[in-house]
A = this chain, B = another copy of it.
Amino acid sequence: MSGNAIEFATPFAVYFGDIDDDSWGKTGLGLVQWRREGCAGQLRLPGCRDRQLRHAGIDIVAGLHVRLASLPGLADAAQSGRARLIDVRIPPPGLPVGTGRKRSGLRLLTVGTDCACGKKYTALALDKELRARGRQSDFRASGQTGIMIAGRGLPIDAVVSDFLTGAAELLSPDNAADHWDMIEGQGSLFHPGYLQVTVGLLVGSQPDAFVVCHDPLSHEISGWPGFPLPTIAALIERTVLIGSLTNSGVRCVGVSLNTSKVPAAERRRLLARYAEEAHLPCVDPLVEGVGPIVDKLISEFRQ
């Protein structure tokens, strides 16, 4: 992993193009949230200042499957402006096949009922809270936004299928016995397009613990009509079933809800209901933080 650091200069500007919905700008929003100290501002269309940016010697960093250099004119513009084009979704060469070998140290993976329901945010918040309590922890980024935030990581969904579990194994290497890796999850085990990514990341990560992330106002896989979200209980059961292949002790330690669209008056009751149904701490990490989940984690995995 040391050879896979993603480095780009600060300060940086976030370019949102012509998106008309926040959910299409999650990489930029993640950087504004978690690397705010390096963010000089943001740019939007119309106004089209991106062309000027490209000739101003400012590096361009992207996390798409499409390579920046393949966009007409961009490589020339970058060269004439002495800027770099940095694609963070290119996996390193020579990835191995997964071995299933047990690694030292402790691992937590965030899983979700869908994509884009708080897995990255929750892992980052757990990492921050553990460090604040003086514990050893690392955030392990598995997606483009997480990699830009952490400055390192592996773009799991861009890895050739045969090497997906192997890449996930590299992402959280052997570590001290009381060290936690907080691994950013991807997709969902019930997602008809992406579940293979979720499965490979789960089995390669061999997590000791996991947290379920969920948007309580959603009922279908976003963008895949006709595919219902699983219940929290069903997702926990399936995660344990598949995760047991490489870690027989894998267990759920909490539920992370996105309550941003829930009416204020209903929020506490909603969290209480989920907590009671799952018999687990249930939080919105943006509102009350992840303290109750970290309490449980520390208590359950006392050395």
Contact = CB atoms under 8 A, between A and B. Distances in A.
A227 B166 CA distance: 16
A227 B206 CA distance: 14
Contact of A65 (B99, B160, B194, B245): B160
A116 interface: no
Contact of A161 (B98, B159, B226, B241): B159
A193 B245 CA distance: 11
A179 to B, nearest CB: 23
B160 A160 contact: yes
A25 interface: no
A68 interface: no
Chain B CB within 10 Å — which of A159, A197, A238 has the most? A197
Contacts of A156: 161
A252 to B, nearest CB: 19
Most chain B CB within 10 A, of A159, A161, A164, A224, is at A161
Contacts of A162: 65, 157-158, 194, 197
